[in-house]
Every structure is written in C-alpha cells, then in structure tokens.
C-alpha cells in the first residue's frame, strides 16, 4: 500500500508539472491563418472573421479577414486584399497617397477626428510596406490607436491593406511592434 502511495506521489511530483507545461505551451503557440493564397500567424486566443468584399464570401480575388481579441485590450487586426491590379498601376507614391486618402476617408465617414502620426516603412515577404500610425477620436468619445499599412505583392498582383487598432493607449512604437509581429509571419505568394 505504501509503495502505491509513493508511486502516486512521485507521478504527481514529476509528471504533473510536465503536463502543465505542455498544456500552457499549447495555448502560447500561435495559430496560422492560411487561405486565399496568403498566410500569417495570430495569437491562439484570438477569433477570426472572414468577410466578402466584391463577392458575398471572400475568395482569391478579394476579401477581408478580421482577427480580434475579446479581452480588455480589444485589439483588432484586419487584412484586406484585392487581386488583378497590374504592377504598372502601383508605385510607392501611389501606395502612400492611397494610405493618406484612406485615413482621411475613415475620419470623414465615421465622424470624429483622425490625427495622423508616425510614418512607417518596413517589409514583409520581400515587399515594402508603407504605414502610418493614427489616433482616432470617435463621435462617441472613444479613443482608437492604430496603424494602417499597405503593400503590393507583384508575384500575385495583389494589393494588401493592413490595419491594427486598439482602444488601449499605446505608444506608436508599441503599435508598430504589434503590426510587425503579424508581418514577420506573413506570406503572400
């Protein structure tokens, strides 16, 4: 009887910690979204929503993916894409111009005010990403901190627009770092 008790205690002391570590590692590992010819990793506890743009459902031609946390941080990461745009119609100045126009249209469509902040240039999958941090004060008085980015994949003739926003007051660098975490795992061809 004592041997069974010692065996049970030994198992609990040595096996249980390994099981707990293995279980906690599983929740810390990111999930991978991979559809419509592109992929990226996102936090396991986040939810995914797929939305059609030109069609009812998203497809290889166009769509939008929202990735969000239902925690207090209320972070939202969105990817929109549009295929079939010839590379001759895209340049860095056109992307930067479109970025500015998109931010302005969000401010006028939703009301409130948009303050453009730090500009970002980075890369993902070998493509230059142009971005701009922003602060949006909604008509209801809510604060939204975020970054809007765009890049063109000449391999797939696809334009991507990325948006990461949160209701938590974060520095521009913290928001850029959050976006970069997605970009570091992004593949588009």
pLDDT recorded at residue 71: 75
Say whether 129 sits in a helix, a strand or coil: strand
* Domain enclosing residue 89, as ranges: 30-183
Is 2 among the domain residues? no
Q: What does residue 87 show for φ and ψ, rounded to 5 degrees?
A: -60, -30
Q: Do 47 and 70 contact (CB within 8 A), yes or no? A: yes
Euclidean distance between CA atoms 61 and 35, whole angstroms = 12
CA 39 to chain centre: 11
Please report which confidence band the pLDDT of residue 4 belongs to, taking 50, 70 and 90 as the band edges: very low
pLDDT recorded at residue 106: 75
Taking only the tens place, the pLDDT of each residue in 107-119 is 676 677 889 999 9
List the structure tokens of 132.
Answer: 């701009």
Is 57 among the domain residues? yes
How many domains does the chain divide into?
1
pLDDT recorded at residue 69: 83
94-107 burial, b for 16+ CB within 10 Å, e for fewer? Answer: ebbeebeeebeebb
Is 88 among the domain residues? yes
Here the CATH number for the domain that contains residue 105 is 3.40.1000.10
Percent of the residues in the chain that have a pLDDT greater than 90, as a whole number? 61
pLDDT recorded at residue 75: 87
Whether 66 has a pLDDT exceeding 50, the answer reads: yes
Whether 2 has a pLDDT exceeding 50, the answer reads: no
pLDDT recorded at residue 176: 94
pLDDT recorded at residue 110: 67
pLDDT recorded at residue 140: 86
Is 115 among the domain residues? yes
For the chain, what is the mean pLDDT? 84
Taking only the tens place, the pLDDT of each residue in 70-99 is 775 678 999 999 999 898 989 999 999 999
For residue 6, give every residue at least 6 positions away whose Cβ sits within 8 Å of its Cβ, in sequence order, or none: none
Taking only the tens place, the pLDDT of each residue in 147-175 is 999 999 999 999 999 999 998 888 999 99
Is 134 among the domain residues? yes
pLDDT recorded at residue 29: 81
List the structure tokens of 17.
Answer: 């910690």
**Other CB atoms within 10 A of residue 84 CB:** 11
Please report which confidence band the pLDDT of residue 104 belongs to, taking 50, 70 and 90 as the band edges: confident
Taking the whole predicted model, whether its pTM rises above 0.85 is answered as no
Is 40 among the domain residues? yes
Whether 17 has a pLDDT exceeding 60, the answer reads: no
């Amino acid at each position: 009887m004592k041997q069974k008790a010692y065996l049970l205690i030994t198992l609990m002391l040595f096996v249980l910690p390994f099981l707990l570590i293995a279980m906690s590692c599983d929740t810390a590992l990111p999930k991978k979204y991979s559809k419509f010819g592109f992929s990226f990793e996102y936090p396991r506890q986040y939810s995914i929503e797929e939305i059609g743009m030109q069609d009812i459902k998203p497809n290889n031609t166009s769509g939008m993916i929202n990735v969000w946390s239902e925690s207090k941080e209320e972070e939202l990461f969105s990817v929109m894409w549009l295929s079939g745009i010839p590379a001759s119609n895209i340049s860095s100045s056109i992307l930067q111009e479109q970025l500015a126009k998109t931010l302005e249209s969000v401010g006028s469509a939703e009301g409130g005010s948009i303050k453009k902040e730090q500009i970002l240039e980075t890369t993902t999958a070998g493509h230059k990403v142009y971005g701009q941090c922003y602060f949006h004060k909604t008509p209801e008085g809510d604060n939204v901190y975020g970054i809007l980015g765009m890049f063109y994949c000449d391999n797939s003739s696809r334009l991507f627009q990325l948006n990461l926003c949160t209701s938590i007051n974060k520095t521009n660098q913290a928001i850029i770092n959050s976006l970069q975490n997605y970009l570091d795992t992004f593949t588009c061809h």
